A and B are shown apart, each in its own frame.
Chain A
């Protein structure tokens, strides 16, 4: 089973990298970019086919390691 965990900064947390990317896009002349926030994507392969178990394991992984929940939110998707 394939899964994806997306980790993003919570709103209100300063994201200087996103800001730098935003500035670069503007200087490239890419139109209509209002703002950019940078995050991380983890593509994970899971052994077993139990979706509920997989979801619980991924949440555990995100809480324990993939995200720092002080500043980041995460979303788990089973693909």
Chain B
């Protein structure tokens, strides 16, 4: 699995991401600078990592979404390439128009940094095949603006087309108001685009991949991607 991790000024989770990718796939990820206009040849997966690109100026992800490298990512996604955006990466993908909707300020206005539970809604996608449908995983979140919102029609479409892949839930897998940490529409934690090759999610699976982290629930996402790519190849 040849991954490319995008690096924008103010991003701070790119090393965690590269480490997780290396750990699971055995291959070093290429770090791609925001001003670059092309992705490395043969890239299997583009990752937009978390952090605070451009200090969250204007709107989270707004400036990074207009960086030169994003034109290459748009083209890559249009050709069916796999793109994963985590946290600020999710915000950037929404701002770039690669995913619908927007990440608003958390409903209770507080920055949330803790482990949360996610329900994996289906297992038949490249981004979830490392899990079983309905499985509950524990991964950390760290965001102030992760409250996913879209107009009613868009949310309905996402639900109808099975494009919500990860949802905030309780440890038992119950989706309710209490477990919806940031007030997101339908407790949405992660969605894919229409074609299913671009995933954006607020939680950080890359931070739960090694025993020393206290949990390895995030590994399945990367292992699933690697397995998917192996099968395709």
Chain A interface (Cβ < 8 Å from any Cβ of B) = 13-14, 16-17, 20, 64-66, 68, 70-71
Q: Are B59 and A17 in contact (CB under 8 A)?
A: no
* Separation of A20 and B58 alpha carbons in the complex (Å): 20
Q: A65-B58, A70-B102 are in contact. Are A20 and B109 (CB under 8 A)?
A: yes
We find that the number of chain B residues with CB closer than 8 angstroms to chain A is 19
Q: Are B62 and A14 in contact (CB under 8 A)?
A: no
7 other A-B residue contacts (CB within 8 Å) besides A68-B62, A68-B95, A70-B101: A14-B104, A16-B104, A64-B66, A65-B66, A70-B151, A71-B104, A71-B149
* Separation of A17 and B107 alpha carbons in the complex (Å): 9
Q: Classify the secondary structure of B's interface with A.
A: loop
Q: Are A16 and B62 in contact (CB under 8 A)?
A: no
What residues of A have a CB within 8 angstroms of the CB of B227 in the complex? Answer: none
A71 to chain B, nearest CB (A): 5
A46 to chain B, nearest CB (A): 19
Closest 3 CB pairs of A and B: A70-B102, A16-B105, A16-B109
What residues of A have a CB within 8 angstroms of the CB of B66 in the complex? Answer: 64-65
